[in-house]
Amino acid sequence: MTATRLTLTRPDDWHLHLRDGDMLARVLPDTARRFGRAIVMPNLVPPVVNAALAGAYRERILKALPAGLDFEPLMTLYLTERTTPADIAEAKASGFVHAVKWYPAGATTNSDSGVQQISRCHETLAAMEQHDLPLLIHGEVTDAHVDVFDREAVFIDTLLRPLVQRYPKLRIVLEHITTRQAAEFVAAAPANVVATITPHHLLMNRNAIFTGGIRPHHYCLPVLKREEHRLALVAAATSGSPKFFLGTDSAPHTRGAKEAACGCAGMYSAHGAIELYAEVFEQENALDRLEGFASFHGPDFYRLPRNTGTITLVREPWVVPAELGEGATALVPLRAGTELAWRVEGLAG
């Protein structure tokens, strides 16, 4: 029997880019209408490297939130080789910093201030383990000689395995996993090692970057992989395992920044995020497992209460606009101009 209505505990997004200024104001309502909370990525320019900057960014987010929307930004710090154990203690004491993000320098958008050599962060990582502040990881090596499609698998073998052994109590989220190797590594790892999965890596394989020509809006990092990897991610997400949970990695870039000779990495999905995940779970006959993935596994890992409200999805197709925003914030959303199968009740489709 096909479900036509699905009520879930209000979900959260455990990996989100909100940016700043006009773009923040443009994208925040899309997330806040669907999700109760989000882990907000710190890769601003300049990056959010301490609790004071995270607190100021948090204030800007709350100020940009339209009246009547109930949403809590969960802040993160950007790990650099200069982050100290004292920065970690202060972040933990703030109460609003919930994790620290490791960007290997050069791996992705706004990662230039990231870590060149993780060995330079050992004391800081030990402080995170001690203060029980989770480490979030963009898991790709940056060596130019490693094939772009292999960078996540090589990262797992060369950097992640030793890290997990060195800090056995450090809580780790391997963000936006894209490969069978990542899904298998996380499934086999101890309970303190988990992963987020995006809607685009569940719905598309790398053919989507080249359908009928080059598709800059399907370029993100880690880049989309082969179908076998997508199938492994779908199996992990719909397995019911508490190690896998929702993180959209919705990453807005203006149309101009994407449709360029050297286009930026990142897809925007906040306008239809929970709807897109519902499509995946429906295709797998696993709609009964969507609530665990979207609403329970994340807060349980972060040791936060589950949300108390609900959201209702209805199976009513709607067409995603060709473009969202205007002028400096105009962006092309995922599935622009095409139908989504599910709609959030109470939101205009």
Contact pattern from residue 136 through residue 175 relative to ligand NCD, giving x for each residue in contact according to CB under 6 A and a dash for the rest: --x-------------------------------------
Is 18 annotated as belonging to a binding site?
Answer: yes
24 lies in the binding site for ligand NCD (CB under 6 A):
no
331 binds ligand NCD (CB under 6 A): no
Q: Which stretch binds ligand NCD (CB under 6 A): 64-72, 88-96, 103-111, 287-295?
A: 103-111
73, interface contact from Zn ion, ligand NCD, none, CB < 5-8 Å by kind? none
CB of 43 to Zn ion, least distance (A): 7
Of the listed 112, 249, 288, 300, which one is catalytic? 249
Work out the burial of residue 190: count CB atoms within 10 Å of its CB; fewer than 13 is exposed, 13-18 middle, 19 or more buried: exposed
Q: Is 238 among the residues that bind ligand NCD (CB under 6 A)?
A: no
* By CB under 6 A, residue 251 contacts ligand NCD: yes
Measured from the CB atom, is 133 or 221 closer to ligand NCD? 221
- The alpha carbon of residue 277 and the mean position of all alpha carbons in its chain are separated, in whole angstroms, by 13
The Cα–Cα gap between 121 and 213 comes to 42
- For Zn ion, the binding residues (CB under 5 A) are 108, 138, 249
Site membership for ligand NCD, residue 209 (CB under 6 A): no
Q: Which residue has the tokens 């349980």?
A: 300
Query: Residue 282 contacts by C-beta under 8 Å, 6 or more apart in sequence?
Result: 3, 341, 342
Number of neighbours of residue 260 by Cβ within 10 angstroms: 12
The answer to whether residue 221 forms part of the interface with ligand NCD (CB under 6 A) is yes
Taking the C-alpha atoms of residue 298 and residue 196, their distance in angstroms, rounded to an integer, is: 9
253 a known binding residue? yes
The annotation status of 15 as a binding-site residue, yes or no, is: yes
Residues 337, 82: Cα–Cα separation, whole Å:
45
CA distance 128 to 13: 22
132 annotated ligand binder: no
For residue 217, the minimal CB distance to ligand NCD (Å) is 11
Extract the tokens encoding 162. 């030793």
Instruction: Give me the residue whose beta carbon is nearest to ligand NCD.
Output: 266
> Which three-class secondary structure state does DSSP give residue 201?
helix
Give me the sign of the Cα torsion angle 36, 42, 43, 45: positive
* DSSP, res 293: I
Q: Is 109 in the site for ligand NCD (CB under 6 A)?
A: yes
- Residue 288 bears catalytic tag: no
Q: For residues 88 and 83, what is the distance between their CA atoms, to the nearest angstrom? A: 8
Q: Is 258 in the site for ligand NCD (CB under 6 A)?
A: no
Rounded Cα–Cα distance for residues 296 and 107 (Å) = 30
Binding-site entries for substrate: 17-19, 43, 138, 221, 253, 265
Binding-site annotation: residue ranges for Zn(2+): 15, 17, 101, 138, 176, 249
Active site residues: 249
